[in-house]
Structure 1
Amino acid sequence: MTVGRGLVEAQGVRFASIDPLLPPVVAPADGDVLTAALPDGTRVAGVVTRRVHEHRSPARLWSASEVWELTPLLGGTGAAGMDALLRAWRQRLDLLHPAERDSACVLTWPSRDAESTRALLDHGLVPLTVIAVRQAPPPPVAGGATIRRATPADLDTVVALALAELRYSSMVGSTVHRPDAVGLKRRALAERLAAGGPAWLAERDGIAVALAECAVVTSEPGNLTSTRLPTGRWGYVNCVSVLPGARGGGVGRQLMAFAHRELARLGTVGTYLYYNPPNPLSSVFWPRQGYRPLWTMWEVRPAGALR
């Protein structure tokens, strides 16, 4: 289905005024079109999609199994339009009957749109994740750790470090520590290391104490990344993990300075990552490394808890 071009254009103007780094607004992918009217007759719209992650999908480690996602098209209506559309979404969920467990409603919106935040909070959505970006020269690499490229021979070490991060994140964000987490992580990391994906280990006295597992992603018109990032070649910081006993000594800062330098050498225009604002470690660490929120992913679990 299609939605009004006027809403897309008006929303693009509003987004540009909120945050100049936001990419151009494009019409959402096909889905279930939702509409709502404001008291003055102005209409807003959105597209709802439903995804069910199968049992062996790695996405189940950072997502509910059943996800209802709303892409709003509010034009220039701001908080009033958001409130009207969320009310309509709540009514639609009453007809759709989402799963009572392991389900979520998700909505991604510009982090700097403070005006709409009140409506999102009032409807029970929580800012669990942000997409944060960094566009600055890499800082000097300084510290006492030895940093080297991770290889397929390091798979056991890489998995152990990634699982340490997973366990912590599951307490403070959208991550889910599922019974099959070890197998899912091991399979995904084995594929990335075999493909030569950029990943680095920081060692002290020959023992790996930190991991930075990254990728390089291109944002270009027509692909999914272009709806989140400006056009260009971007470094993606997927997982950074420092063992508890090594935290607070600067190894994470040294590792990321090294990773930023290496990703810049690959011709990236910047780097981006996902972190959880409720996480007391990453919510402090990443801003200190030069990252700032671009998008916030609002979520409520289970999906039926949307107000």
Structure 2
Amino acid sequence: MDLIDFSAIATEHATRLKAIDPLLPPPGELPDDQGVLTAEASGSAALGVLSCEKTPADAPGAQWRALVEHRLDLRLAGPDPGTALGLLLEKWQERLAESGTERGDWETAAVVIRPSRDSTGSGELLRHGFAPVRVVAVRPAERHGRGPRRTPGVAVRTATRKDVGNVVELLLELQHYDAQFGVATVRESTERALTAEVEEVLAKDEPLLWIAEVYGKALGVARVQLPPASDWSKIYVDQSGRPKLGYLTSLNVAEQARGTGVGTALAEHAHQVFDTEGVDLALLHHALANPRSTPFWYAQGYRPLWTYWYRRPAVR
């Protein structure tokens, strides 16, 4: 194989990933070589497509990311692609340093999104300062989970406009908790952005947002997206079978009620909604290092599909 042959590298990479996880979509088309880095070693090759996403601090969803994310979309081929990846990461580090990215700027991140079942090159990512921080998890409709038993007195109801304060408080608590794990960032604009988002959702006739109450006290919140609002998540899965996707946007339980089954009640309700709407695959993001969400979601029938490897700041 000609290691400079982009097409051959991409084809081998796509074939390997389809064997690892049939839910993965085929890799995207490669741009011209101006947006690509390559490295060769030990008869193997690593190819990375470069991109940069910039997000205003007050934009919807900005609280879940660094404001400047430099991304590397990988294609790996050959018998020892990990070694080639190590060289590619060194080239990328040099490129970032030369690009004017400020050293130590916490609002910058270098991001490599890998299929979770593809462990190739994980050691090289760790050696270059990356950590697996965030996961896209998937739950096929036929998979069922189990979690803590429900607390007696738990009731799940649709949120109303009167619940804006409770919902924002619960979501802010989630933000502060997840900020410990490297992706979420609580900024001065966070509460305003969350409030505007919640008000927009609750202005709808049938908002897909629910409150869990225990004897009348709001202790949990969950929100989902259904098609067409969830269609953006099609990028994560193979579309050959035209699956219908649902996205679980958020779920949080007040600290004093965690581990009591309130979260299980909310998750069961969300999954019932997905089943009623004929959703084939449910998707969500969660912080991998979160000692509560990771075991909870996998007990609910989810499994990792994509893993976001972060180095933050992008240049140290």
Tell me which residue corresponds to 1:20: 22
Are 2:213 and 1:203 aligned? yes
Q: What is the CA distance between 1:46 and its match in structure 2?
A: 1.7
What CA deviation, in whole Å up to 9, does each residue of 1:207-254 have, x standing for no partner? 11101111124699xx86333123322111111110011112111111
Tell me which residue corresponds to 1:180: 189
Tell me which residue corresponds to 1:34: 36
Structure 1 Cα separation of the partners of residues 62 and 261 of structure 2? 32
Are 2:95 and 1:92 aligned? yes
Are 2:88 and 1:82 aligned? no
Q: What is the CA distance between 1:192 and its match in structure 2?
A: 2.3
SS at 2:52 equivalent: strand
Tell me which residue corresponds to 1:73: 75
| Runs (5+) with no aligned partner, structure 2 | none
What CA deviation, in whole Å up to 9, does each residue of 1:120-173 have, x standing for no partner? 111111111011111135569973311111233322221111111111111224
The aligned runs of 1:37-52 (5 Å cut-off) are: 37-40=39-42, 42-52=44-54
The aligned runs of 1:233-272 (5 Å cut-off) are: 233-272=244-283
Q: What is the CA distance between 1:89 and its match in structure 2?
A: 0.6
Structure 2 Cα separation of the partners of residues 290 and 29 of structure 1? 37
Q: What is the CA distance between 1:300 and its match in structure 2?
A: 0.7
* Contact map agreement 1:45 1:85 (CA 8 A) in 2: yes
- For the structure 1 residues 193 and 81, does the alpha-carbon distance in structure 2 shift closer, same or farther, using more than 3 Å as the test? farther
* Contact map agreement 1:34 1:88 (CA 8 A) in 2: no
Tell me which residue corresponds to 2:160: 151
Q: What is the CA distance between 1:10 and its match in structure 2?
A: 1.6
SS at 1:273 equivalent: strand
TM (normalized to structure 1)?
A: 0.89
Tell me which residue corresponds to 2:296: 285
Return 56-65 or 132-141, whichever deviates more. Answer: 132-141
RMSD: 2.5
Q: What is the CA distance between 1:13 and its match in structure 2?
A: 0.3
Tell me which residue corresponds to 2:7: 5
Tell me which residue corresponds to 1:129: 134
Tell me which residue corresponds to 2:108: 103
- Pick one of 272, 276, 284 that aligns with 1:273: 284
SS at 2:58 equivalent: coil
| Runs (5+) with no aligned partner, structure 1 | none
TM (normalized to structure 2)?
A: 0.87
* Contact map agreement 2:234 2:245 (CA 8 A) in 1: no
What CA deviation, in whole Å up to 9, does each residue of 1:253-280 have, x standing for no partner? 1111111011111111021111112111
